[in-house]
Amino acid sequence: MQGGSSGIGYGLKYQARCISDVKADRDHTSFLTGTLSLKEENEVHLLRLSSGGSELICEGLFSHPNEIWDLASCPFDQRIFSTVFSTGDSYGAAIWQIPEPYGKSNSSTLECVASLDAHVGKINCVLWCPSGKSDKLISMDEQNLVLWSLDCSKKTAEVLSKESAGMRHSLSGGAWNPHDVNSVAATSESSIQFWDLRTMKKVDSIERAHIRNVDYNIKREHILVTADDESGIHVWDLRKAKVPVQELPGHTHWTWAVRCNPEYEELILSVGTDSAVNLWFASASSEKKTSESSVVASPQRVNPLLNSYTDYEDSVYGLAWSSREPWIFASLSYDGRVVIESVKPFLPRR
């Protein structure tokens, strides 16, 4: 099934690339997004879906000093988030706190909790530990993984360990394993590398060229999904990772990001530079398995593409499922357009 879009839109003032679900907000469906303007003061917008689900409201507007290339919300404190930013000449990363009280009427200044200043080159991302109220986070540049201990009360971030991926590898991003807090997957030009954070050593890898993005399936322990520049989307079973267990076509241009649904294990979202968001049905494993969170699939299903959302005029880079309402997702195109969509029509009847 393919169609257009009937989503709820919100426009940012400037171009943008990143959006994050505010997982720690248990009372609202909320997202954080940041802008990417070279000449103007950049902004972070706190967006909340109205109680009726018909409007996207800006609950907070905050000034940010530099272009935002990566943004991630703290999983245990809704006022804390990280950004990777560029000054035009160099890159930096920092942890920020949203001031209280706040409102959309005036642009408030964010409070810098800590700077992640152990990097020299281009920083790609900051990863928060997905388990509980952990003080651990990782920052990653093209050559190094840095493990930090964050103390928000003291406003300090301490380097616990730092390790180079080697000169033959240029790291581009990664994902923290939600099933094993000691394991992180890092993407490079030619492989996915799996790192053990206890030793800060690479313990395994999947040789695969041009991987753009990676995400773990939260509901299935050994399942990993990758977005490749040119060859689409691949689902991997890490117990037998020589070849993917499923291949999805991806996008007509570069597939930029993939996200596994936090509740419905067969649903995968992808975005690309073809100005589309695709919703996929993926079996998620080579094993046959049923559960209450499974999406009902017809045995005759041939096309894994459930829907294509095309309400965009520019490349789509940002993508986030809501953890509070897992049938809702937010996407962000480069021209600063945020769209909230519901996948309820594709969920199982219970």
**What are 293-334's pLDDT values in tens digits?**
555 444 345 689 999 999 899 999 999 999 999 999 999 999
- Residue 59 CA to residue 22 CA, distance in Å, equals 13
The tokens for 58 are: 């800006």
What are 206-264's pLDDT values in tens digits? 988 788 899 999 999 999 999 987 768 999 999 998 899 999 987 888 888 999 999 99
The pLDDT value recorded for residue 299 is 37
Q: How far is CA 197 from CA 150, 167, 169, 310, in A?
A: 16, 20, 18, 40
Q: How do the domains of the chain map onto residue ranges?
A: 8-344
The pLDDT value recorded for residue 289 is 45
End-to-end CA distance of the chain: 22
Three-state SS at 344: helix
The pLDDT value recorded for residue 104 is 52
What are 163-219's pLDDT values in tens digits? 998 767 789 999 999 999 999 999 988 899 999 999 999 999 998 878 889 999 999
- Residue 147 CA to residue 127 CA, distance in Å, equals 10
Q: Could you give the maximum distance between any two Cα atoms of the chain, in Å?
A: 58
Query: Which residues have a Cβ under 8 Å from the Cβ of 255 and sit 6 or more positions away?
Result: 212, 213, 227, 228, 229, 232, 233, 270, 271, 272
Among positive and negative, which fits the CA dihedral 213, 216, 217, 222? Answer: positive
Q: Residue 3: pLDDT above 60?
A: no
The pLDDT value recorded for residue 296 is 47
Q: Residue 61: pLDDT above 90?
A: yes
The pLDDT value recorded for residue 291 is 46
The pLDDT value recorded for residue 303 is 83
The pLDDT value recorded for residue 124 is 95
What are 87-129's pLDDT values in tens digits? 888 999 999 999 877 655 455 889 999 999 999 889 999 999 9
Beta pairing partners, 81: 73, 96
Degrees (nearest 5) of the Cα angle 5, 349, 2?
Answer: 25
Q: Residue 38: pLDDT above 80?
A: yes
Query: Which residues have a Cβ under 8 Å from the Cβ of 161 and sit 6 or more positions away?
Result: 146, 147, 197, 200
The pLDDT value recorded for residue 129 is 96
pTM of the model: 0.91
| CATH 3.30.310.160 holds for 8-344 | no
Contact yes or no for 291/261 (Cβ under 8 A):
no
The pLDDT value recorded for residue 39 is 81
